Amino acid sequence: MSTVLVSGGSGFIGSYCILQLLQAGYQVRTTVRSMSRKSHVLALLKQGGVEPRDRLTFCEADLEKDVGWPNAVAGCEYVLHVASPFPAEVPKDENELIVPAREGALRVLRASRDAGVRRVVLTSSFAAIGYGHPVQDAPFNEKDWTNPNGADVFPYTKSKTLAERAAWDFMAREGGALELSVVNPVAVFGPVLGPDLSTSILIVQMLLSGAMPACPKVSFGAVDVRDVADLHLRAMTDPAAKGERFLAVAGDFISMLEIARALRAGLGPNAKKVPTRELPNWVLRVASLFDPRVRQVLPELGKLKNATNEKARRVLGWTPRTNEECIVATGESLARLGLLKGGPKQAA
């Protein structure tokens, strides 16, 4: 089997991409910012039930530096470029996110082209599709692009939009024989493999731990990380994915209250602290005066958005799990690994 590079293998999506590639028989190489993260990646894979043995190698590479990337892509047939900054905190300077996201994507594409890589699959986001628009009834699809100057666009949203735009521009100008496909996930949930929790998973942890007394009136898309990784592998090898982007969304967008109900229905005693009512909007508006993270939520209060996975289903035969399945799987894994604050670790 050919060799595949996965950038950002210590992340939530990256680790699942490695798992599925190894299970499919590929040789895998992954980048980490520091070799000290190697043991972390191996622990995630062990939790996922895979012992890579001699089929996984590591390279040190940083999104903001040229060094390391030529060696990382050398001899690879495919590249899954998953690495991109996604902090829980809002940076003071938007360029802290924009520069590594955009320049990192260009570094990977340039190195991949020069090394004769066949195809790069870029992990973008719904953030590059569904923001900066007037309210609309029609679901968003792959033809839509976020307006980076929109009032509801924050640094992360802007970084993903500009990075993906830059990638497509690079391909049009100087991509050569290299091929590009893009996956645009919504909020990613599913079974966690370790204690470093992504921003999406923290929502479920907060609901289960009682840190959220009521649910804000916000809705968003959900998708299981296992299905996101599966879509990456399909986009990597299917000829029909060349030059295309694919929304990764399980189904219709769901509200925070619906997430809470799914947890209560699926997790029994572990969900006893999950709230059962919605939070008045004014409470969030007051909280936003003191917490910039809350400020990001305000433009989405009461706004109904939706997105369609029709293209991924039709073109690539992708069949994702339901919203409820991925939400419950998230909670079950948090309980199993003892990551519910104040709760006991369950036997596997």
Q: Which residues are catalytic?
A: 160
Q: Are 1 and 75 in contact (CB under 8 A)?
A: no
Place of tokens 């709230």: 275
Cα–Cα distance for residue pair 229/49, rounded to 1 Å? 16
Supply the DSSP string of 46-95, one letter for each residue: HHTT---GGGEEEEE--TT-STTHHHHHTT-SEEEE------SSPPSSTH
Burial class of 274 by CB neighbour count within 10 A (0 to 12, 13 to 18, 19+): buried
Helix H or strand E encompassing 187: strand 187-189
Helix 12-23 to helix 38-47 angle (10° resolution) is 60
Helix 256-267 to helix 199-209 angle (10° resolution) is 60
Which of 130, 127, 86, 126 minimizes the C-alpha distance to 104? 86
- Measured in degrees and rounded to the nearest 5, phi and psi for residue 147 equal -85, 110
Q: What is the CA radius of gyration of the chain?
A: 20
